[in-house]
């Protein structure tokens, strides 16, 4: 009997070690060095207290990168929610091919972000890219999609929406499947139109799913890095907060300052998560 009680813990032990050494320990170490002027090439690493945090809150480049991250999030979140909700409703209304469509839309979500970024960089190429070829068919001039400061971030937004919309579709389909069929059938008997069913039945019953997708999309958008790194190289108009933190830590080797900025970003994400928990609780009480 004691062996049977211990065996489950033995199975999860590797995962516990992984979480500790790859997540908990690095996080604690980052918190520690955030109070130091920590350069990996300099032996002297003096304690500076809250100086790194004060610098982060007054660093115009970091604040600008935060604004770019939020602008990127403002582009990704509503677009992804509207598109994924529409396609979830569409797939839900076609039960015969539901599994097929679910696989098709989820494929980009499980494809390597690096591979997707490389493909879309070619599509956006100003000279021989597919995007400019298509618009040239209508007589339009070529566009520098990733080099134009006014549209570069929105070009990346389009890629991120295309890549991640499949995950949100799966979440919305799960929410739709939890709606009792009898409610929808009763609305049909009462003569409700499709829009009335969506507005008065489906959306209210799917509020938890909508909140979950909204919050997770916000967190994911604020943490964006790979698409920016691969497609634009983090130029001035697409340098997000995570990219700036990475650049400070690994290019400039200012690990202490980079850690303090990452903690500030973590605090922002934590506040968003707490809001999610609060809003979800309100919906459950309703």
Q: Look up residue 149 and give its two tokens.
A: 């400061």
Looking at the domain 46-107+149-179+206-285, which fold is it?
MetI-like fold (1.10.3720)
Any residues with CB less than 8 A from the CB of 217 and at least 6 apart, and which? 73, 76, 77, 80, 81, 164, 168
pLDDT of residue 1: 44
pLDDT of residue 283: 60
Q: Per this entry, what is the length of the chain?
A: 286
With b for 16 or more beta-carbon neighbours within 10 A and e for fewer, the 230-246 pattern comes to bbbebeebbbbbbbbbb
Model confidence over 25-34: pLDDT tens digits?
888 888 999 8
Model confidence over 118-153: pLDDT tens digits?
999 999 988 888 999 898 888 888 889 998 888 999
Instruction: Select the more confidently predicted residue: 96 or 157.
Output: 157
Q: Look up residue 5 and give its two tokens.
A: 């009680």
* Cα separations in angstroms, 216 against 66, 113, 127, 211, 221: 18, 18, 36, 9, 8
* Cα separations in angstroms, 138 against 104, 133, 145: 30, 9, 17
pLDDT of residue 2: 54
User: Hey, is 254 helix, strand or coil?
Assistant: strand
- Extended strands (E) in 17-130: none
CA gap 282, 286 in Å, rounded: 6
Residue 122 gets which letter from DSSP? Answer: H
At residue 282 the predicted structure's pLDDT band, cuts being 50, 70 and 90, is low
CA gap 227, 69 in Å, rounded: 12
pTM for the model stands at: 0.85
Report whether 137 contacts 131 (CB < 8 A). no
Check whether 108 has a pLDDT greater than 60. Answer: yes
Mean pLDDT of the chain: 86
CA gap 168, 109 in Å, rounded: 10
CA gap 72, 66 in Å, rounded: 10
């Amino acid at each position: 009997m004691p062996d049977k009680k211990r065996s489950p813990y033995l199975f999860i032990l590797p995962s516990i070690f992984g979480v500790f050494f790859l997540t908990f320990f690095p996080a604690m170490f980052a918190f520690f060095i955030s109070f130091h002027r920590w350069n990996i090439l300099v032996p002297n690493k003096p304690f500076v207290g809250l100086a790194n945090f004060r610098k982060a809150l007054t660093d115009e480049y970091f604040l600008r990168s935060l604004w770019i991250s939020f602008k990127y999030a403002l582009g990704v979140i509503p677009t992804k929610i509207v598109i994924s909700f529409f396609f979830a409703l569409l797939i839900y209304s076609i039960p015969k091919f539901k599994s097929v469509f679910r696989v098709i839309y989820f494929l980009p979500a499980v494809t390597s972000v690096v591979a997707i970024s490389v493909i879309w960089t070619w599509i956006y190429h100003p000279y021989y890219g597919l995007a400019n070829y298509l618009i040239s068919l209508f007589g339009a001039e070529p566009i520098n999609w990733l080099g134009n400061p006014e549209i570069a971030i929105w070009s990346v937004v389009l890629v991120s929406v295309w890549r991640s919309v499949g995950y949100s579709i799966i979440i919305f389909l799960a929410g739709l499947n939890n709606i009792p069929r009898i409610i929808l059938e009763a609305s049909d008997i009462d003569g409700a139109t499709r829009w009335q069913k969506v507005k008065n039945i489906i959306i209210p019953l799917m509020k938890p799913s909508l909140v979950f997708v909204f919050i997770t999309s916000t967190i994911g958008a604020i943490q964006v890095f790979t698409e920016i790194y691969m497609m634009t190289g983090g130029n001035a108009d697409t340098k997000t907060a995570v990219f700036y933190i990475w650049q400070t830590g690994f290019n400039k080797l200012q690990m202490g300052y980079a850690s303090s900025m990452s903690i500030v970003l973590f605090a922002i994400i934590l506040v968003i998560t707490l809001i999610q928990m609060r809003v979800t609780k309100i919906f459950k009480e309703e």
